[in-house]
């Protein structure tokens, strides 16, 4: 797997791009949550790249230096691509919104026609951690759904994917099969 920037390098990159301090704080909270999840999952002898988790979680919202709208994921991907970072990090920035967005949903949301879905375990962990890391203690699934329901109906396929992702991660954390 590719080499990823460390904590200091990520923070320096965020600062160099004038990322707002609250976004940097959120990235740090997301990284802490993601690394706790990763540790529990690794105890089950699953392979998870901690360096990737750290860098991806810290940099997932770098696009917020340019926009606080849904396009921040695309903009973050562009920044990371221009900085020469591996495709895995670009994918985190682009695919972390909600629990992913299909290419048809992307068009409805004003994004380019492309699937923005987390695929790898690391992408899913970071996406989940981003969703719940809005305060301490972490948000519950109902609070996450309430938050996203400001933008989407509760029956929207994206909301269903958020529930599925939450369930998938929770099952791993509780060491349940299925």
**All structural domains of the chain with their residue ranges:** 7-173
| 111 confidence band (pLDDT: 50, 70, 90) | very high
Q: 14: closest CA among 92, 66, 87? A: 66
Is the separation of the CB atoms in 4 and 10 below 8 Å?
no
SS3 per-residue string spanning 91-111: HHHHHCCECEECHHHHHHCCC
The highest-level CATH class for domain 7-173 is mainly alpha
pLDDT in tens, 124-155: 999 999 999 987 789 999 999 999 999 899 99
Is the separation of the CB atoms in 14 and 58 below 8 Å?
yes
Q: What per-residue confidence (pLDDT) applies to 109?
A: 94
Is the separation of the CB atoms in 10 and 59 below 8 Å?
yes
In terms of pLDDT, which residue wins out, 13 or 137?
13
Q: What is the mean pLDDT of residues 103-125?
A: 96
């Amino acid at each position: 797997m590719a080499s990823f920037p460390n904590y200091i390098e990520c923070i320096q990159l965020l600062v160099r791009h004038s990322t707002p301090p609250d976004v940097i704080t959120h990235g740090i909270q997301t990284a802490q949550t993601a690394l706790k999840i990763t540790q529990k999952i690794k105890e089950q002898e699953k392979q998870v790249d901690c360096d990737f988790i750290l860098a991806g979680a810290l940099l997932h919202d770098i696009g917020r230096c340019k926009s606080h709208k849904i396009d921040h994921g695309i903009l973050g991907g562009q920044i990371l691509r221009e900085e020469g970072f591996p495709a895995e990090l670009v994918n985190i920035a682009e695919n972390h919104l909600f629990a992913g967005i299909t290419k048809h949903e992307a068009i409805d949301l004003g994004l380019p026609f492309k699937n923005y879905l987390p695929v790898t375990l690391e992408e899913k962990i970071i996406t989940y951690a981003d969703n719940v890391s809005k305060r301490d203690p972490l948000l519950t699934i109902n609070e996450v759904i309430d938050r996203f329901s400001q933008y989407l109906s509760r029956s929207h396929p994206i909301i269903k994917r958020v529930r599925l992702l939450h369930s998938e991660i929770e099952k791993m954390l509780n060491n349940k099969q299925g």
